[in-house]
Structure 1
Amino acid sequence: MPIGVPKVPYRIPGDEEATWVDLYNVMYRERTFLGQEIRCEITNHITGLMVYLSIEDGISDIFLFLNSPGGWLISGMAIFDTMQTVTPDIYTICLGIAASMASFILLGGERVHP
């Protein structure tokens, strides 16, 4: 019997009460996950998410969690360029493996969170 996506309380800044939102939506508010080979489709998803988070809140830091065997050069460069372009600092954290192009992306992020 499938349980589904867990819901967690999330308080939108400015609201007094928290609303129940699925876990993935809450995590995407501050974090981005790269957990597969770097190809065009995932690159479009990640770069779009970073630009959206930058436009929505240009002050809060973005965390990019990596577990990737690497992938296409051009797709990886697009992610790297987006990381350097957006206003918030992007902190990269490796959870598992960051090989090939994923290691380049890992090194493109901020190193230490204050």
Structure 2
Amino acid sequence: MRRRPIPVRGTNVKSWRSLCDNEFAIYVLVASVGALTYSNSLNGEFVHDDIPAIVSNGDVTGVNPVLRIFKNDFWGTPMSDLGSHKSYRPLTTLTFCIVGGVTSALPFLALFDFERFAVSETRLI
């Protein structure tokens, strides 16, 4: 037979249980923690592999024709080139291209970084 927990004065156990049972409250809590965690990076710059993958990639910046996305690797190098990394991710590159076009037209949307869109896009696959 299980023991019943000893009630503690001053705490309302029922309200905490009802909060945990409410799925919407849990989603809001998780989203808030995520937003607070990454809020300090919104004004940051591109670093490490972001520069060759996004900033200097002709497929993403619009220098190359759109159909070249499907012929080039993730870094914008033709797949047939010996120096190609052979990492073929056309949907991610296309997403970077679309997001870059949208954020240049509507700068307030630049608060959302490219990686979040890429992660959500790869989860769909």
* Bin for the TM-score computed over the shorter chain: under 0.3
Query: If the length of structure 2 is used for normalisation, what is the TM-score?
Result: 0.22
Whichever of the two has the greater Rg, that structure is 2
More strand per residue: 1
More helix per residue: 2
Q: Which has the higher contact order (CA 8 A, sep 6+)?
A: 1
